[in-house]
Structure 1
Amino acid sequence: MYPYVILDVFTDTPLEGNPLAVFPRAEDIPGERLQAIAREMNLSETVFVLPPEGEGHARVRIFTPAVELPFAGHPTLGTAYHIADRDGLDRVVLETGSGAVAVEFERADGRLASGRMRQPIPTWEPYERADEILAALGVETSELPVELYVNGPRFVYVALESEERVAALAPDLAALAAHGTVGVVCFAGAGTRWKCRVFSPGAGIAEDPATGSAAGPFAVHLARHGRIAHGEEIRIAQGAEIGRPSTLYARALGEGDRIDAVEVAGSAVLVARGEFLA
């Protein structure tokens, strides 16, 4: 039997945010079974926690129902939250496939409140199949260049004219899946308030309730194109259209195309415990 917990991430309200399964003692689970277990859990991500190989508190392997990811945001934040809550820590370092990621927590009345992770700095380039993405979304153009960002996962960003247009999207998921594991981030907003929807059908996630690994590059994208100032923290609303409202915070520090640090923050809440029997 393998114990697991389920947390809702990027929310402090149970049954909202992005659900996450964490297997906190996964060293006894055969490696060839991890993908099948993640498919059985059928959440956007499942995390298997292993003993550290370096100076981190733990090593993690992260799976969607279809693929393993080197890094993902809500699994990192949620797993760090569970370890911090269990062990009474204010800082947790997780060893991911994209390197060590530190998460620092604030407390309110002695309890964990929000956590802030320092993410891998992404690379970016123009996306050569941008016209196909726009056609699959049913939109004619993007207000900013459609660019591909990589910080482990891969995301392209499409800027729309209004939050209402983002909410009304009904994309051709089969056409988006033809782009493999590339996630598509559609957004609108201004100043520090933004709305996003994220579609990743090629990774087994039709629509994601909260995408921490996309939030960091999103702040980079906005800063690079002058929509926000470097170092300015944005609030991202995501997930309402699928009944899982989520709130993420992100900022990119640097100047121009030089990015010195990327930070993403949010809350989490434990909602369930169980045992996997198979």
Structure 2
Amino acid sequence: MTSRLFARPGLLAPLKAMLSAIMALALVACQSTELTSAGLMSASAPRAASSLASEAEIRGQSTLVLDYASGRTLHEEAADGLRYPASLTKMMTLYLLFEAIGEGRLSLDSELVVSENAASKPPAKIGLKPGTTIRVCDAAQAIAVKSANDVATVIAENLGGTEEGFAAAMTAKARSLGMSRTLFANASGLPDPRQISTARDMATLGRALLSRFPHYAPLFSVTEFEYGGRRFKATNKLLGKVAGVDGLKTGYIRDAGFHLAATAKRGGRRIIVVVMGGEKGRDRDAKVIALIDEYLGAARFAER
């Protein structure tokens, strides 16, 4: 499916109407965040134990299958082992972006300024130029589909003032969602030894992202999109090929291996499958497919 979700005629207005109806959730005490003129800054960042980072396993393998409706764990292998989350990190970047929109701090048409720092990030990226701007709707699409590192930093700097400030807000939000073994140091998942998480925490995040912001779910099922005269294909290769798969996020850095947090629905039941530490992308994908078939049954047709 080729799409620019927010650019479709007649779709932007309903989305805006839905967003205006979303009530801001109160953030918990010392884990609260506040969007000010200086950006989205953590009121008091949680005291994550930095010593945990030293326990993260290089290319450690973890698996977790979660029933979406109940939150019940159906299958797990080393699900609490500390791993480098790579671009699964961007699920939290989008969570905070969607939250800011829902609270009226931004709109889908708001322009985010691109700094030299953001533009300099390594691929995957969409090639933003310093001093230009990108609309929030395009930024969300670029993160969900292409996993663009330059866009992740743009979001972080515009909402957090600095990427470090935004990362503190990400970690605070993680704690409020029950992600007890996650620490964020940047918005993209680019290599940083302090950036750690687990398969269980990433499944928790994926479920929270979809349940709180279901109107954005179509973003994650898009197989390609156009921006700036270029066409970008989705990093999730299961989309359009495996029945019922309609998201969510891939990830890779050398020390992490190949990750995928996938959501799939068959026969009216939805699950979230997280596989971390695949040696190769095709091995990771094969494991995710096998788990989907095991817990949803072999597919005879694709459901939407």
Q: TM-score, normalised by structure 2?
A: 0.29
Q: Which has the higher strand share?
A: 1
Q: Which has the higher helix share?
A: 2
